[in-house]
Chain A
Amino acid sequence: MASTIIDNSIIPFDPARMRRTVLEMAYAGSTVHIACAFSIIELLTVLYRHHLRYPGNDPRAEGRDYLVLSKGHGVMAQYACMHELGWLENSHIKNYFKDGTDLKGLSDSRVAGLEVTSGSLGHGFSVGVGIALGLKQKGTDQKVYAIVGDGELNEGPIWEGALVASHHKLENLMLIVDKNGFQAMGTTDDVLALGDLTAKLTSFGFETLEVDGHDEFVIDAAIRRLWESSPSKPKALIARTVKGKGVSFMESVNLWHYTRLNPQSFAEAISELGFSGTSK
């Protein structure tokens, strides 16, 4: 679809570099949720590189597409992409979590580039449904992407929103599930099993595809295929991901939902990403 072609394809959004930025922020701020950010890196790089349109590279441009990070815990991945776009400075990375700064540990809509205040789960998707309904009513071709965690699917309003999205035929809305199989206290299967998610979302009226959430080529192709699929249906991309993807000792180790980096683990993680040192 012509409308998905944008200038940002010339910006590399290299996943390894995005992960390095996340590590640098997490280390600078001595903060957590690294693994939550790592599982959505490729989803974000593909979206920013090939799909999200920001007229004039303005994160608040009226005609923009909307990326709603409903799982606010992954916000460092979004910061990394916003840094790549020039919306955040090096100082934002270096000074993460310093007193008096703007970037928080969860998505805050007062930061240009973040559309919702989330982290309390099950909020962003409903807001995204409202944005999509409004854009449809206005007759624009803008698109809305809402990224939710699979753990976040425990929240009732997600399913309320899914009913509404389908009822109002919001074909401009794409729900993206970061299916990393974990939530705060364990695996999603152990805590509150989701069953067959593709079947669930399909039965809710979504055009649904499930893909490897770390294969950029496959993600890109699936997003294009979904937009070209049946009009009058909302879309759902279920992305099979690995919590902590990219650093071997973090992968599928749920402790990295909560663990802070120390000088040694930081150096090891940076090195595993193929870098000899930090960026600045």
Chain B
Amino acid sequence: MREAFSNALVRLALADSKVLLLTGDHGYSLFDEFRKRCPDQYINAGIAEQNMVGMAAGLARVGFRPFVYGLAAFVPIRTVEQIKLDIAHDDLPVVLLGDGAGFVYSHLGTSHQSTEDIACTRAIPHLQVLSPADRLEMTAVMDYAYATIGPVYLRMGKADLGDVHDGPISSLQQGRLLKVRDGRADRPGLIATGSMLRAAVDIATSLDLMVWSAPFLKPLNVDDVRSTAKATNGLVTLEEHSVLGGLGAAVSEITSEHQPTRVLRIGVPDRFSEHCGTHAYLLREHGLDIDSVRERVRAYCELLASNSIALA
């Protein structure tokens, strides 16, 4: 997935000399290819993220297409005000790349973990928020981010979970969900984003549930979400992000207004990680490991089934 990211960036930069990569002194081996092939389009802005994001706004103002890379804990979180004021306010074509979102930097602690970035960016006007789940979505969202000519936050989480989609995503449309798996209509459907799509598909296979991927967290297509609510008996959202303000919130905002249904929001509880450990360990700590999630989804299926019987 990281290779797909690097490949897309190099391809875009070779095709358009206005594409610049700015990094806050991160991405050591990730940008080897970019630095080799597009050395004049590479700017290491130093460990100075706020200035870097402001600078990106200035570069965009005079016609460049900056891609600004940092860890999600810094871009966007450390620079939310620069994103709001310097970039989004004027709809400038800057792509913000937040790497290592969620618990990727599991051993490093709270400083490098990022479970609030979707909530913080979703409320910024003009800013689109993208969250690819696999290599194929990554390629598609990079092309989309370049083509959209406006401010984009691209959230990059755990990247080594393998492909979910069968082949290239030819036409990624703004805000649209991607249906990944069909399943039973009398059970809840799963909507997952980023790193949680893999688990969603595995769980859905054993319980025969429908699954959609949400590469867009903002905008999120109202008709698509309404359709998922209509097609299923309840919804479950899955994300490696706080249960507050992320995918679960975005889906609930739409369903509550347009197609009321029950929504179980599975994500990071409203607290910081307590312990050190592997990514898998931290998922367990927060109840996001596949066994815990499967159990919650199974119980939810039963709850909704018994509710339906009670209502009937």
A interface residue numbers (CB < 8 A to B): 109-110, 115-118, 120, 122-123, 125-135, 137-138, 156-157, 160-161, 163-164, 167
Contacts and interface: CB of A to CB of B under 8 A. Distances in A.
A157 B48 CA distance: 8
B57 A163 contact: no
By Cβ-Cβ distance, the 3 closest A-B pairs, closest first, are A130-B58, A126-B54, A130-B55
12 contacts: A110-B90, A117-B85, A117-B89, A118-B85, A120-B85, A126-B57, A127-B57, A130-B56, A130-B58, A134-B62, A164-B48, A164-B51
A130 B48 CA distance: 13
Contact of B55 (A118, A120, A133): A133
Contacts of A135: 62
Given A163-B46, A164-B48, A134 B54 contact: no
A157 B51 contact: yes
Interface of A is mostly: helix
Contacts of A115: 61
A122 B53 CA distance: 12
B86 A127 contact: yes
A116 B62 CA distance: 13
A131 B62 contact: yes
B110 interface: no
B45 interface: yes
Size range of the interface on B?
A: 20 to 34
A122 B58 CA distance: 14
Given A120-B81, A127-B54, A164-B46, A134 B59 contact: yes
B84 to A, nearest CB: 9
Nearest to A168: B43
A129 B85 contact: no
A130 B50 contact: no
B51 A129 contact: yes
Contacts of A133: 43, 55, 58-59
Nearest to B66: A130
B260 interface: no
B47 to A, nearest CB: 9
Given A117-B90, A123-B86, A131 B59 contact: yes
B86 A161 contact: no
Given A156-B50, A160-B50, A130 B85 contact: no
A244 B54 CA distance: 30
A130 B54 contact: yes
Nearest to B57: A127
A259 B51 CA distance: 33
Contacts of A116: 86
B48 A109 contact: no
Most chain B CB neighbours (cut-off 10 Å) among A123, A127, A156, A163: A127
A157 B63 CA distance: 23
Interface in B242-266: none
